[in-house]
Structure 1
Amino acid sequence: MPSLLNRLIYVDDSGNPRSGLVVYGWVEFTPDHWPSALGNWLQMRKRLWREHRIPLTQELHTTEYVNGRGRISTQIPDRHIHNGVEYWKDFGREVALECLETLRNTEGLSLGAVYRKGKPEDIAHTRQQAYAALVDRLEAELARSDSLALVFMDGDGSDTSYRSTHRNLRLSQRRVIEDAIHLDSRSSQLVQMADLVAWCANSSIDRHPRNEFAWEWFEKYLSERDPRRSPQEI
């Protein structure tokens, strides 16, 4: 019996270059769950438009909106306006929690995160090592289940290290089909989902005081969808 394509994996990165930390987070599902996983997220996006005036086409880039830097809404709710001042951080965190609840309640979806720490001056090398280790782990899992996968990542593909990681493997034994397929996060809802996972994983590992509000988000909202229950050092 031929191997089956049974994993669609959407990956994004996070981390802290100043400390040498690299994080990869992802969401995944089987191809038959693709319509329902995306549909569940799109229903949430429609609610965000109805209730918060966040356009469906607005990119939800966690670093921007959760820290109040991104103006994701065309009309911030009155409850986040006090004495004429708009509290975008409070609003962004409310949106993030709604997104996290959606991930937690999406049937057929699983997720995960890995990280690696290196020297700040070697961050590019650490990123490459972390991705190579992640691909090695995926290849081993796929070999054990005699299955195939597609990996999608944020970006334009200009970083050739991702391509090299896959092409350095023996073609006859590769289980990830093709190289990582790059998608623009501005137009990919699924990459935006992975971005949220990666950001939450980073916050749980690199416990910076400014993100204390999110230190436990991965454990509270995402761990039940993660077979390993927490981000793994790799």
Structure 2
Amino acid sequence: MIYVDDSGHPQSGLVVYGWVEFTPDHWPTALSSWLQNHKRLWREHRIPVTQELHTTEYVNGRGRITKRMPDRHVHDGVEYWKDFGREVAVECLETLRSTEGLRLGAVYRRGDPGDLARTKQQAYAALVERFEKELSASNSLAMVFMDGDGSDTSYRSTHRKLQLRQRRVIEDAIHIDSRTSQLVQTADLVAWSANACIDQHARNEFAWEWYEKYLSVRDPDRFPREI
């Protein structure tokens, strides 16, 4: 089971895909680990278990994910949402690092900023090819789950170009709304952290080393790879 989400920097033509994966027998462990993290966030920060953790929103201080800001992030009556969001992100990263049976990874591709759709399609096709090779080597099958409503037909066409008798990824990518999928939210965090590692600009300096510090232990490649 492979949960995938995308990130990147459209202005520079950078496309990033991040994912988490595990065998079906580890699905309960992976989901339980993330849900336990959510319950802890509720106890400690009053972040509802049903609250979507969309990394771009809460790490950059735009998402109001709690109604009770911890006192340590309130100074002279001002709530520091960025500091709070980054603390939450680190707790989530720690959860991924310690989840039994979980593997993850990230890949990226640079292309023409004026034709980002083409770069995304090429990057996704290369990612699926990578999955196919790995699955073939282990004589395994897999299903891919992604955020979205499936309106982007390029994902479907990528899968349908594969040779049916040889393909290892079952069906097209299955699209799920990230607001209701805890595990797609984990892939979002991986993709965002990979993007911060690759596209190192000043406003994300706090996260430049997140991938290496928290996620590389779960990534067989250790770092995001260019494809």
TM-score (norm 1): 0.96
Cα distance in 1 for partners of 2:51, 2:125 equals 32
Cα distance in 1 for partners of 2:106, 2:187 equals 9
1:138 corresponds in structure 2 to: 131
- Range moving further from structure 2, 183-192 or 136-145: 136-145
- Find the residue that maps to 2:32 and give its secondary structure: helix
2:84 corresponds in structure 1 to: 91
One-letter amino acid matched to 2:102: L
Return the match for 1:161 from 138, 154, 160.
Answer: 154
1:223 aligns with 2:216: yes
Return the match for 1:116 from 106, 109, 128.
Answer: 109
1:193 corresponds in structure 2 to: 186
2:59 corresponds in structure 1 to: 66
Cα distance in 2 for partners of 1:227, 1:108 equals 13
Cα distance in 2 for partners of 1:219, 1:187 equals 28
1:3 corresponds in structure 2 to: none
**Structure 1 unaligned regions, length at least 5:** 1-7
1:23 corresponds in structure 2 to: 16
Cα distance in 1 for partners of 2:78, 2:142 equals 48
- Find the residue that maps to 2:50 and give its secondary structure: coil
1:46 corresponds in structure 2 to: 39
One-letter amino acid matched to 1:69: R
- Find the residue that maps to 1:10 and give its secondary structure: strand
| 1:172 shift after superposition | 1.0
- Find the residue that maps to 2:47 and give its secondary structure: coil
* Aligned residue pairs, count: 227
Using the aligned pairs only, state the percent identity.
79
Q: Deviations over 1:74-115 (max 9, x none)?
A: 211111111000000000000000000000000100100000
Q: Deviations over 1:28-51 (max 9, x none)?
A: 111000001110110110010011
In the TM superposition, structure 1's runs of 4+ consecutive aligned residues that sit over 2 Å from their partners are none
- Find the residue that maps to 1:148 and give its secondary structure: coil
Q: Deviations over 1:122-143 (max 9, x none)?
A: 1110000000000011111111
Cα distance in 2 for partners of 1:222, 1:229 equals 8
RMSD: 0.5
| 1:119 shift after superposition | 1.1
| 1:144 shift after superposition | 1.5
One-letter amino acid matched to 2:30: A
Cα distance in 1 for partners of 2:69, 2:162 equals 49
| 1:170 shift after superposition | 1.2
Cα distance in 1 for partners of 2:130, 2:43 equals 41
Return the match for 2:164 from 171, 181, 188.
Answer: 171
1:81 corresponds in structure 2 to: 74
2:29 corresponds in structure 1 to: 36
Return the match for 2:143 from 123, 133, 150.
Answer: 150
**Structure 2 unaligned regions, length at least 5:** none
Cα distance in 1 for partners of 2:154, 2:207 equals 31
One-letter amino acid matched to 1:67: N
Q: Deviations over 1:147-184 (max 9, x none)?
A: 10000000000000000000011111111000000010
